[in-house]
Structure 1
Amino acid sequence: MLLTFITRMTLLSVLLLQTACDNSVLAGNKHSLAELQNLQTLGAEAKTKQLPILLIFSAEWCEYCEVLKEHVLHPMSINGMYEGKVVFLRNVGIDEPEPIPDWHGNPIKKSKWAYQINADLTPTVVFFDGNGKEVADRIIGISEVGLFASLVHVRINQAYANMGLTKRIPATPELLEQQQAR
């Protein structure tokens, strides 16, 4: 009963957030988060730029995945402050049938890989280095959409530290924007 109440309140919060959101940004575009096409290539690029890779494991039928992509990851992917500068952002559609090259160039289905690494509960956000090593704590599910971007920033900084990098980003997207505007 308590779980049902919490679930309903979470859904209500998400719906209110969606209603309050400026839908003109999203009109005609569910999200522009790039789909993962090749782990080997992405890993090589991440190694070259010494950046972590953020992968959201999602499914087309997952409403929470869409909320997360539309309200947190889509804005991060389109604003030009993150991709290739702070982190590489990619969607991993676990319901897509076509295999992709894994970290070593071998073909693997996304659903099988998600199952192998225990990321088949959607949405799950996993942070990797360019070698395929997990470098920050996972984020599983959504508790509060408004705080999710800050949680992603915490994990990016954790990934930097675990990769032996000295760079850090501010706690929120707004602070990152201010920093990059200077």
Structure 2
Amino acid sequence: MRTLIFSFVFILSATYWLTGCANESAASASQKLKIIPELQNLQTLGEQARQKNLPILLAFGAEWCAFCHQLRDEVLNPMMLSGRYEGKYMYMRYVSLDDRNPIPGFDGKPIRKDQWGESYGVDLTPTVLFIDGNGNEVAPRLVGIANIELYAAMIHKALNTAYSKMGNPLRIPAMPEDLN
């Protein structure tokens, strides 16, 4: 009986340990998979967006935010990897609110990402903003994740709103799978 109990405890402990390692590896892989570029320079990005009259998608997140990792891994990274969006339908950047280092703002003056996010009223993560090359919001923001399966379609809807507000005749299909 003692051997049976010892075996059961050993198997249970080994399973717990292996599961913990697997979860840690998954979390580590998620942190390493940062395909969507981190926002580095608003002045340059704003100029690019103004030249092509395209909106900028800014995904505000934090390292501790599991939903931010989910959004980046399941929606934003695949959109970037497809090569169909960046510079064609929009510019996409991730804004880490954990990063306290200053970056050039639209006017070239240094700003901190966390303070800049506060100026837009970003107080929950993830929050996705759609702005023009001057920093004006041009579509309704997406706060949190209501349905990850429909998130890309919600981005498409917001992009079409942004195009209209920016006077851009470009339109994107409602569903990502309809995108050429």
TM-score tier (shorter): 0.7 to 0.9
Q: 1:91 aligns to what SS in structure 2?
A: strand
Runs of 4+, deviation exceeding 3 Å: 26-29
Q: In structure 1, how many angstroms separate the alpha carbons of the residues matched to 2:35 and 2:108?
A: 25
Paired position in structure 1 for 2:13: none
1:1-182 residue pairs with structure 2 within 5 A?
A: 29-176=32-179, 180=180
Kindly tell me: are residues 108 and 27 of structure 1, through their superposed partners in 2, closer, same or farther at Cα, counting changes over 3 Å? closer
Residues 35, 92 of structure 1: 8 Å contact kept? yes
TM-aligned CA distance change 1:28 to 1:98, over 3 Å: closer
CA distance in 1, matches of 2:44, 2:148: 31
- Which protein has the larger Cα radius of gyration, Structure 1 or Structure 2? 2
More helix by share: 2
1:108-157 superposed Cα distances (whole Å, 9 cap, x missing partner): 11011111110131100000011111100000000110000000000000
User: Aligned-pair RMSD on alpha carbons?
Assistant: 1.5
1:14 aligns with none
What is the rounded CA distance, in whole Å, between the counterparts of 1:164 and 1:158 in structure 2? Answer: 10
Displacement of 1:29 = 4.4
Question: For 1:35-82, what per-residue CA distance to the aligned partner results, in whole angstroms no more than 9, with x for missing partners?
Answer: 000111000000111110000000011100000010000000111000
Would the alpha carbon gap of residues 70 and 53 (structure 1) be closer, same or farther in structure 2, given more than 3 Å must change?
Answer: same
Q: What is the TM-score of this pair, normalised by structure 2?
A: 0.82
Q: Where do 5+ consecutive residues of structure 1 fail to align?
A: 1-22
Measured after TM superposition, the shift of residue 31 of structure 1 is 3.0
TM-score using structure 1 length: 0.81
Tell me how far apart the structure 2 counterparts of residues 61 and 159 of structure 1 sit (CA, whole Å): 30
Q: CA deviation at 1:28?
A: 8.8
Letter matched to residue 113 of structure 1: W
